[in-house]
Amino acid sequence: MTCEKCGEDGTDTILTPELIHYGKQVCAGCRKFEAWIPKPENHIFNAQNKIVAARDLLASMPDRTDETMLAEYHLKMAAAILRGVTAELVDG
């Protein structure tokens, strides 16, 4: 992302524990605000919702083909990875 104010390409992340947002991205050059960064828990929540939606979609498909079984496999792997990440966050 190129800053429209100073032309700098990089951004820095500043954590904002005092706010509801996890942190913010600012321009590495002039510190102009670029974007809010959601809490990691929100990313996990969104990912879980996507997995559930994909599972529902697969379950609604009448034919079990190689492709749907492969998709189910990848979903299982994604869910397992997500559980691991969640456990790490909870354990601190």
| 2-10, 12-20, 40-48, 65-73 -> range binding Zn ion (CB under 5 A) | 2-10
**Among residues 1, 15, 19, 30, which is the contact residue for Zn ion, using CB under 5 A?**
30
**DSSP one-letter string for 3-67:** -TTT----EEEEE-TTSSSSEEEEETTT--EEEEE--HHHHHHHHHHHHHHHHHHHHT-S---HH
Confirm or reject binding of residue 57 to Zn ion (CB under 5 A).
no
Residue at token pair 């969104």: 46
Q: Considering beta carbons, is residue 5 or 39 the nearer one to Zn ion?
A: 5
Confirm or reject binding of residue 69 to Zn ion (CB under 5 A).
no
Q: Considering beta carbons, is residue 24 or 43 the nearer one to Zn ion?
A: 24
